[in-house]
Amino acid sequence: MSMIKLGLPGIALAVTCMLSSAALAQDCANRGHLNDRFCDADGDALADPPTDPAKLLDPDTLIFSYTPVEDPAVYEGTFQDLLKHLTEKTGKNVSWFPAESYAAQVEAMRSGRLHIAGVAAGAVPYAVNIAGFHPKVTMDKIDGSLGYTLQLVVPAASDIKTVADLKGKRVAHVAPSSNSGDTAPRVLFKQMGVTPGEDYEILYSGKHDNSILGVVNGDYDAAPVASSVLERMIERGVVEKDALRIIYESSPFPRTAYGTAYNLKPELADAIAQAFLDFDFQNSSLFEEFKDTKGFTPVEYKDDWVNVVAIQIETGATYDEAGLTTLKNE
């Protein structure tokens, strides 16, 4: 397994995309939230694969990326067994792309340079609609619980007891594309009488890990974060459990989705999806990090992300060039 660093797509690619988008705009009867370069004839809310076989990708090396975390190098080792398994099942070399941001993932997949990815729940609709990402699976918890929750954390000694106490405080949000770290609290907290950005100051940390560590170190008064990230940081000893208090927890959201680019050859995309499903998770390096997980299970984007999309649309999200700019400016 090797590590590959990818740059942003060039002007020539952008021009090509604009020309192909113009053609698609005339031919597509159903698109939903998808970018103009895509079409959704079968109504599954995902970009249809190219009908021209010459436009289907069958690369010798598949590029894999996991959602941005505090230390991509650590997670490269964590995913090593999975990448080896993908190599065995597809007959392809599989290389690791250390994503530094949600935008970098979406840009790389949109330009055809990223083929397999684990995308954070809140960034999934952006990846689907802007880059043609096809979510295939998610991690299935041992205890049978669904997804992850938004947890509002404060320092253990804080006088903040409820969401209402956030007024006048400095609160870390993760990034504009983060579900539990930004869009969900904007909707859910407002329903409880607190409007983020008006009743309290928002400071973007860039990552859930940064928000959590910032609260522990006193840089922020509070932070809405993904429960799954907090659990893993406590498990690894990065954060002491008694250093924080959880003063609010939402209903569950879907976890990180793992999937493929829309324009891979169908048999290759199917082989990748099946490789996730038959992966021996609990006897792998992944289980050392995700100890609450028994394996991968299929997902249906149209159904499983309906609430995430609804929250994003309510907060003004768009899945177009403006949406990509939001990701870049996170």
Query: Can you give the pLDDT of all 330 residues of the chain as single tens digits?
Result: 444 444 434 434 444 444 444 444 457 999 999 999 999 999 999 999 999 999 999 999 999 999 877 666 678 899 999 999 999 999 999 999 988 888 889 999 999 999 999 999 989 999 999 999 999 999 999 988 778 999 999 999 999 999 999 999 999 999 988 899 999 999 999 999 999 999 999 999 999 999 999 999 999 999 999 999 999 999 999 999 999 999 999 988 998 999 999 999 999 999 999 999 999 999 999 999 899 899 999 999 999 999 899 899 988 888 987 777 766 655
Q: Which of 249, 269, 293 finishes a domain?
A: 249
Crossing angle, helix 321-328 and helix 124-131, to 10 degrees?
130
Q: Is residue 2 part of a domain?
A: no
Residues 73 and 138 in one domain: yes
Q: Is residue 1 part of a domain?
A: no
CB 162 within 8 A of CB 247: yes
Instruction: Tell me what pLDDT residue 10 has.
Output: 40
CA nearest to 257, candidates 179, 319, 152: 179
Q: Residues 238-241: contacts with CB within 8 Å, 24+ apart?
A: 238/209, 238/213, 239/212, 239/213, 240/216
Instruction: Tell me what pLDDT residue 116 has.
Output: 98
* Cα separation values, 294 from 140, 287, 290, Å: 6, 8, 9
β-sheet bridge partners, residue 200: 196
Q: Is residue 5 part of a domain?
A: no
Residues 243 and 266 in one domain: no
Q: Is residue 321 part of a domain?
A: yes
* Tally of structural domains, the chain: 2
**Which of helix, strand or coil describes residue 217?**
coil
Distant-in-sequence, close-in-space partners of 273: CB < 8 Å, separation ≥ 6:
136, 137, 259, 260, 298
Instruction: Tell me what pLDDT residue 70 has.
Output: 62
Residues 15 and 45 in one domain: yes
Cα–Cα distance measured from residue 101 to residue 148, given in angstroms and rounded to the nearest whole number: 21
Cα–Cα distance measured from residue 260 to residue 271, given in angstroms and rounded to the nearest whole number: 11
Residues 136 and 273 in one domain: yes
Cα–Cα distance measured from residue 75 to residue 275, given in angstroms and rounded to the nearest whole number: 19
Instruction: Tell me what pLDDT residue 229 has.
Output: 93
Residues 19 and 120 in one domain: yes
β-sheet bridge partners, residue 140: 295
Q: Is residue 18 part of a domain?
A: yes
Residues 129 and 264 in one domain: yes
Q: Which of 199, 233, 249 finishes a domain?
A: 249
Instruction: Tell me what pLDDT residue 130 has.
Output: 96
- Which tokens belong to 97? 């792309």
Q: Is residue 135 part of a domain?
A: yes
Residues 30 and 99 in one domain: yes
Residues 180 and 324 in one domain: no
Q: How large is the greatest C-alpha to C-alpha distance in the chain, in angstroms?
A: 62
Instruction: Tell me what pLDDT residue 214 has.
Output: 98
CATH number of the domain that residue 203 is part of: 3.40.190.10
Q: Is residue 6 part of a domain?
A: no
Q: Is residue 3 part of a domain?
A: no
CB 80 within 8 A of CB 1: yes
Residues 136 and 58 in one domain: yes
Residues 220 and 263 in one domain: no
Chain-centre distance for alpha carbon 330: 14
Q: Which of 217, 249, 281 finishes a domain?
A: 249
Q: Containing domain of residue 135, as a range?
A: 11-143+254-328
Residues 260 and 291 in one domain: yes
Residues 312 and 269 in one domain: yes
251: left (phi over 0), alpha (psi -120 to 50) or beta: beta
Strands 133-141 and 257-261: antiparallel
Radius of gyration of the chain (CA): 20
